[in-house]
Amino acid sequence: LMTQNLLECALREDGGQLHNAYESLGVLGEDLHLLLLDPDRFLFDNQSIENGMQLLYRSGKLYGRDKEETLITDAFCRVSRGKSEAFFIGGFSGSGKSMLVDSLRDRVKCVGGYVTKHKFDAMSREKPLSGVISAFNQVCLMIKGRARPVIAKKLGEEFGVDFSLLMRLLPNVSVLLPEHVRPVINVDAGEAMNARSVCFTLLRFVRVVSSPSHPVMLFLDDIQWADSTALDVIHTILSDTMGSSCMFFVGTYRDNEVQVDHDIFNLIRELEMSHVHTTKLSLAGLDQSDLNTMISDALCLIQICKSLSGIIFQKTKGGPFFVLEFMQ
């Protein structure tokens, strides 16, 4: 289309503009830039599939989030040197908060780290500690496939006669030390134990299992639903005065659903007062330029995408999730 457009313009004797001609060299330059980025994508016809055109987004690409990806990656790199940090991401539903965090998963696993996640919901306050406990319980299964003998020995030395207490709280720890008899529990351990006991037990656990060679990344999604008790546990672990924990905490929340006095902001203030490195980030919708790149990639088209991008931007305000849904 571009080559045909240029040739026809050059051969026209009346000097008039074609209905689909480029308006300026600047607009032409933008399309040339897309061609140079990925010539195979734009220089050949996109093959249709039986049920319609296939949307060919770039695999693993977060459109318009380069700066944010750098920030979260740099934060994790600091943690992997032996420090605990907190990273908070606000934004409306569908703004791509979880996708930004998930982009870090492969890097964490590559350096031997553990990634554990829990998503809160409106019912989470009925059992305020169960989400955090469940997340750390998952870590036990991850350790089993990697450094089980070493970690199991350290846990045994750290807890000693209190190991049954750890097993009550994190039942999966039994896969690390199968010789220990698992206690019979008829009630939820996190509810039966008081909050202070849960905090201290989890802190001791994190001290053992986390290290620069095996950092723990704890991702809690939708923490606007989290109870203050659960956030207190996070504060206790991150502000460990012994400094032996190596945990990267990432919390995402819908900033349009919280007030300035929400427990999230109390946690941020307390972490900063405890000298815990804390990063705060807010995700807005994609701007029209990034949205145009995303749509051009999906359709393998240039030039005509700008007007389409403008329409989609008006409909979705640049929200990545809503853009994907609209394009489907």
Give 212: exposed, middle or buried? Use CB within 10 Å, 0-12, 13-18, 19+: middle
Closest listed residue to residue 286, CA positions, set 94, 105, 98, 102 = 94
The arithmetic mean of pLDDT across residues 276-298, rounded, is 88
Got the DSSP string for 184-250?
P-SS-HHHHS-HHHHHHHHHHHHHHH-BTTB-EEEEEE-GGG--HHHHHHHHHHHT-TT----EEEE
The pLDDT of residue 293: 82
Q: What is the pLDDT of residue 171?
A: 93
Dmax over CA atoms of the chain, in Å, equals 94
Can you say how many angstroms the Cα of residue 117 is from the centroid of all Cα atoms in its chain? 10
More confident call, 140 vs 6 = 140
Amino acid at 186: N
Note the pLDDT of residue 50: 44
Sign of the C-alpha dihedral computed for residues 173, 174, 180 and 181 taken in this order: positive
Question: What is the structure's pLDDT at 178?
Answer: 75
pLDDT score of 69? 95
Which one, of 205, 190, 81, lies nearest residue 136 by Cα?
A: 205
Q: Which residue has the higher pLDDT, 134 or 325?
A: 134
Q: How many helices (H) and strands (E) does the chain have?
A: 16, 7
pLDDT band (50, 70, 90) for residue 98:
very high
185 or 69: whose pLDDT is higher?
Answer: 69
Q: What is the pLDDT at residue 187? A: 45
Question: What is residue 299's predicted lDDT score, i.e. its pLDDT?
Answer: 78
Are 31 and 305 in contact, with CB atoms under 8 Å apart? no
Tell me how far the alpha carbon of residue 88 is from its chain's centroid: 10
pLDDT of 123 over the 60 cut: yes
- Does residue 100 or residue 26 have the better pLDDT? 100
Condensed to tens digits (0 to 9), the pLDDT of residues 9-63 reads 554 555 555 555 566 777 677 777 767 776 766 655 555 444 556 777 777 788 8
120 pLDDT tier (thresholds 50, 70, 90): very high
CA distances from 238 to 166, 213, 227, 253 (A): 19, 18, 17, 19
What mean pLDDT comes out for the span 159-178? 89
What is the percent of the chain where pLDDT is above 90?
46
Higher-scoring residue by pLDDT: 250, 127:
250
Q: Which one has a higher pLDDT value, 295 or 2? A: 295
For residues 168 and 183, is the Cβ–Cβ distance under 8 A? yes
CA distance linking residue 183 with residue 169, whole number of Å: 10
How does the average pLDDT of the chain come out, rounded?
83
pLDDT value at position 53?
60
What are the residues whose beta carbons fall under 8 Å from the beta carbon of 257, sequence distance 6 or more? 224
Per-residue pLDDT at 309: 82
pLDDT value, residue 67: 94
**What percent of the chain shows pLDDT beyond 70?**
80
More confident residue, 105 or 302: 105
Residue 244's pLDDT band, with cuts at 50, 70 and 90, is: confident
